[in-house]
Amino acid sequence: MPELPEVEFLKNDISRQLSEKPAIERFIFHRKDLREPIPIAQIKKLIGEPILKLDRRSKYLLFSTPKGDLVSHLGMTGTWRVESQKSLETRKHDHIEIWVGNGKKIIYNDPRRFGFFGFALAAQDHPKIKDLGPEPLSEDFSVFYLRSCLGQKKLTIKQALMDPRVVVGVGNIYASEILFAAGVHPQKSSHSLRPDKLQKIIEQTQMILQKSIESGGSSFRNYVHSDGNKGDFQSFHKVYAREGKPCPNCQQLIRRMIQGGRSTFWCSYCQKL
DNA sequence: AGGAAAACCTGCGTGC
DNA sequence: TGCACGCAGGTTTTCC
């Protein structure tokens, strides 16, 4: 799945296909849980309500109705796609279908089932959402904010960037890409970074995420848009999953290490401690 | 308290 | 061909 750009793209993509605020006709749950139980009884109370709009907060996709919000997270392998109700195809790992009044159905598919589907009267009060840090593309994500936030913490900058209480939406792919673009070593302790480096990290975060949204998300493994087409950001990866290949800047070989259980890719010449 | 490791799952590529 | 292993876009829980 999807890091922020993929969710943002999906939000826009599905929104286009639901333009006339169709009413929810039915839910089909092919199973009662993903990683956590699905609050099916609560969710079914939304039948008959129109989907007013889709929003994104962090990597959560939010469907808003007059009686409350559906809160969806795609985990590592989840996708939503839109199909005609006439299509009888059911794919392996289709778990949830939302049938709506314009003849379409919105289908959630997730092989690993690390995703999430829940309900809240107002999404911003949902336990998964209320304690999240700022959006990376907002003005709240500033040098001033980062200094106060990282001041005490003993975290490497890579782990800080991926901590959703620090900033949301930066996953494992983009964390490596951002630090490469900013010329910052992934193991640098986050509280030791000077303001000009923090500024550079913020700029590169926004640049890379924005560019990726515009080109339709990452598509690294199995990512597809709601129309079934793949995104094509993978060709833009400069270090991610490129261990042993030459750095695009200096030809030094890209290296890989494990931080917090996740692979980090970096160039030991362009990113010094 | 706070950070590392494990847990939740399936699928795919590699190497023997 | 088959099997074992390592790895995968995320987040939460458990364990030191």
pLDDT per position as a tens digit, A112-153: 999 999 999 999 999 999 999 999 999 999 999 999 888 777
CA of A128: nearest nucleotide by C1' is C11
Q: Residue A234 has what pLDDT? A: 52
Q: Residue A75 has what pLDDT? A: 94
Amino acid at A187: Q
Q: Residue A248 has what pLDDT? A: 94
Q: How many C-beta atoms surround the C-beta of residue A21 within 10 A?
A: 13
Report residues of chain A scoring pLDDT below 50: 219-223, 230-233
Q: Residue A154 has what pLDDT? A: 83
Q: Residue A218 has what pLDDT? A: 54
In the sheet where A60-65 sits, what is the strand order?
A53-57, A60-65, A68-73, A116-120
Sign of the C-alpha dihedral, residues A116, A205, A130, A63?
Answer: negative
How many Å does it take to go from CA A76 to C1' B7?
15
Active site residues of A: 2-3, 59, 262
CA of A260: nearest nucleotide by C1' is B4
Q: Which residue is nearest to nucleotide B7 (CA to C1')?
A: A35
How many Å does it take to go from CA A216 to C1' B1?
41
How many Å does it take to go from CA A34 to C1' C10?
13
How many Å does it take to go from CA A55 to C1' C5?
40
Rounded Cα distance between A174 and A181, Å, is 10
Q: Residue A213 has what pLDDT? A: 86
Q: Residue A235 has what pLDDT? A: 59
Q: Residue A216 has what pLDDT? A: 72
* A103-130 core/surface letters (b: 16 or more CB in 10 A; e: else): ebbbbbbbeebebbbbbbeebeebebbe
Nucleic chain C contacts, Cβ below 7 Å: A 1-3, 6, 35, 58-59, 73, 75-77, 112, 114, 128, 162, 164, 171-173, 217-223, 231, 261-263
